[in-house]
């Protein structure tokens, strides 16, 4: 039986940062996004409201900004090598993130079988944000279930990698999980814990497990 490896993005594949932070930095909006992030992490802002405020903040966003943010982001080492190994073993890897899909989906170019994020309008923005397209922690479980159906698997065949509260629901429904540079919200929930800068080393914790 094969497996599906489900990766969070912000704080997991991106060490100590988030896609929205990296994009905002390209626009010179470091202070503004830091304020929004504080409210979001403290749960004073729900995902849809956070996305609405980010959409307004990014009025001048272009594809060039997104390209630069993706290239310059603090990615963990050996992401592509890890996903190539997973694919070579006949297993699947996917990214499921609350961050904008136009950033998350770029990771299919690195070897992810699928990449799902919150649906924002096409860049540059000329359309309003549809709040129904913004993901939350429960949506991660729903997407995992859809991917399982697509690949002929079940939750019992999944491995989840995450770092924060938004991953807790997913960690609660899969048998194997890896807390990657995680905060206190995943304490006691993860099967394994990894602190470091190399995705391969986190993957090694579950590589031989069946």
Residue 23: its pLDDT value, please?
A: 98
> Mean of the pLDDT values across residues 178-191?
91
pLDDT tens by residue, 56-104? 999 999 999 999 999 999 999 999 999 999 999 999 999 999 999 999 9
Residue 210: its pLDDT value, please?
A: 58
List the alpha helices (DSSP H) in 73-198.
Answer: 79-88, 101-104, 137-151, 168-171
pLDDT tens by residue, 112-126? 999 999 999 999 999
Cα dihedral 109→156→119→30 (10° resolution): -80
Enumerate the β-bridge partners of residue 14: 10, 75
Residue 188: its pLDDT value, please?
A: 85
**Residues 47, 97 contacting (CB under 8 angstroms):** no
> Mean of the pLDDT values across residues 142-169?
97
Q: Which residues are CB-contacts of 129 (< 8 A; sequence separation ≥ 6)?
A: 51, 52, 55, 120, 121
Q: Is the entire prediction scored with pTM above 0.85?
A: yes
First-to-last C-alpha distance (Å) of the chain: 9
């Amino acid at each position: 039986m094969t497996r599906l490896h489900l990766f969070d993005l912000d704080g997991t594949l991106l060490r100590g940062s988030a896609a929205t932070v990296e994009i905002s930095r390209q626009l010179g909006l470091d202070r503004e996004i830091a304020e929004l992030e504080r409210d979001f992490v403290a749960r004073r802002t729900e995902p849809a409201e956070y996305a609405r405020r980010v959409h307004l903040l990014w009025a001048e966003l272009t594809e060039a900004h997104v390209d630069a943010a993706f290239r310059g982001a603090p990615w963990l080492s050996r992401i592509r090598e890890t996903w190539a190994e997973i694919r070579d073993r006949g297993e699947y890897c996917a990214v499921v993130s609350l961050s904008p899909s136009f950033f998350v989906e770029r990771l299919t170019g690195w070897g992810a079988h699928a990449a799902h994020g919150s649906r924002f309008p096409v860049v540059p923005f000329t359309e309003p944000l549809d709040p129904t397209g913004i993901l939350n922690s429960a949506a991660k479980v729903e997407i995992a279930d859809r991917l399982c159906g697509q690949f002929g698997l079940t939750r019992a065949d999944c491995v989840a990698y995450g770092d924060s509260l938004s991953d807790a629901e997913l960690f609660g429904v899969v048998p194997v999980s890896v807390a990657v540079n995680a905060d206190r919200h995943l304490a006691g929930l993860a099967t394994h814990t990894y602190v470091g800068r190399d995705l391969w080393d986190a993957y090694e914790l579950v590589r031989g497990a069946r």
